[in-house]
Amino acid sequence: MHLGWFATTGFGVYGWEDPWAGNVASDLGRPGLFVDLATSLERAGFDYLMLEDSSVLPDVYRGTFESSVRRGTHVRFDPVPLVPLLANATQHLGIVATVATTFYPPFLAARLFATLDHLSGGRVGLNLVTASADGAAQNYGLTKHVEHDRRYEMADEWITVCKELWSSWDRDALTLEPGGAFADHERIHTIDHVGEHYSSRGPLNLPPGPQGRPVICQAGASPAGRAFGARHADTIIAAQTGVDAMRAYREDISRRLLENGRKPEDAKVLYLVNPILGDTDDDAFRKRDRLRQVQSGHVDRVLAALSYFTSMDFSQFDVDAPLPDLSGNNGHQGTVADMVRTGKTLREIATTHKATESIELCGSVETVADRMEEVMAEVGGDGFLIAAPVTRKNVTEITDGLAPALRRRGVLRHRYEHATFRDNLLST
């Protein structure tokens, strides 16, 4: 079983004023919390830590920034400068940073992540998103975000350019001959890419990193997102609800991989979960019920999230009326569709939606470990992506409680067999 940790608000704020949030004010903008997370994940045998990112402070909901900053949920520091610090503190863990393909020039991204691959010793990954908010697009000079499926068309060409750039030096281009040439110039090539959306001459002005190219991570629930992931991703994040939907997603991705000349095992599908752990099952159930009670009293938070995902102000709608028409949504289509399935009114959605759960995992570490093993056997997937808030209590419960229970069952690695992130990720 492969495991990753999804830092859902990236290099940002977690659990402002919540119990067990730690020294959240003094952690703000500092690497210590995330270094603690990375070293703990490596000790536990995780494949990677993935850092989400966003470049907008939303003011769609009620036309103000209040919902974005009240709990700090949309405060984001750029995750890329954090990557070398996390890599320096670890030896095996993959470190994945998020880049919005719509806003990054492909040459800039290819050069930056080739550099990080060298700095990390072959342990960097690139999580590709197309971004969703009009406000983010406006920060980069657009008046409105690019249409959803067109964003994926652009992303497909974007990663093609990056791959060409990462291959612009042959793997044996470096000669490093004492008293001779540093590199063989005949093994370095321009790419001369001229496409519909991007042009780049190339080559990169640095040799390929230990992995050749970074690990590519992608989350896409829409048909366009699934097609993109099957063409390019080494690991795919899925948030399908329920075992049947999880199995169907894995089967669909496997079929798409084969259609693209790849093998099903070429991309590891990890399902989003947020385990609720207790010393006993009853302790965990009581904890779950308390969390649900808190959620039921904060309808505004879910409405603000829907506003962000769709660039539509949900404060204008009656929360007890049938759902409004969301067919014009140009944002996170898969996420919104999943939320809509949980209820018929906005209040029902707000009080029952579980944003990061493919399945409910609740109980003692033994109960949860049993359930994780059972579900993977049923689904035929590859593992789970933990999406718990980054607090030191959550980290300890998962890495020193749940992970050892999985290891005792023989479903989680005891050691890393390979030197690079990709080789460890794609191992069976």
Taking only the tens place, the pLDDT of each residue in 362-377 is 999 999 999 999 999 9
Taking phi first (over 0 means left), then psi (-120 to 50 degrees means alpha), and beta for anything else, what does residue 218 get?
A: beta
Using one digit for the tens of pLDDT, what is the confidence trace for 115-165? 999 999 999 999 999 887 888 899 999 988 888 889 989 999 999 999 999
**Residue found under tokens 């948030």:** 239
Residues 390-412: what's their mean pLDDT? 96
> 2-280+357-426 has which CATH code?
3.20.20.30
For 223-263, give the DSSP string.
HHHHHHHHHH-SEEEE---SHHHHHHHHHHHHHHHHHTT--
C-alpha distances (whole Å) from 2 to each of 136, 147, 376 are: 33, 34, 10
Confidence category of residue 413, pLDDT binned at 50, 70, 90: very high
* Residue of 400 and 71 predicted with greater confidence: 400
Write down the pLDDT at residue 428: 76
Burial, 317: exposed, middle or buried (Cβ in 10 Å; 0-12, 13-18, 19+)? middle
Domains in the chain: boundaries: 2-280+357-426, 281-352
Residues 336-354: what's their mean pLDDT? 69
Longest CA–CA span in the chain (Å) reads: 78
Name the CA radius of gyration of the chain, rounded: 22
pLDDT for residue 347 is more than 70: yes
Confidence category of residue 84, pLDDT binned at 50, 70, 90: very high
pLDDT for residue 351 is more than 90: no
| Least confident stretch, 27-41, 57-71, 96-110, 318-332 | 318-332
**Residue found under tokens 């690139």:** 126
Question: What share of the chain has pLDDT > 70, as a percent?
Answer: 94
Average pLDDT, the chain: 91
Residues 299-325: what's their mean pLDDT? 83
Confidence category of residue 333, pLDDT binned at 50, 70, 90: low
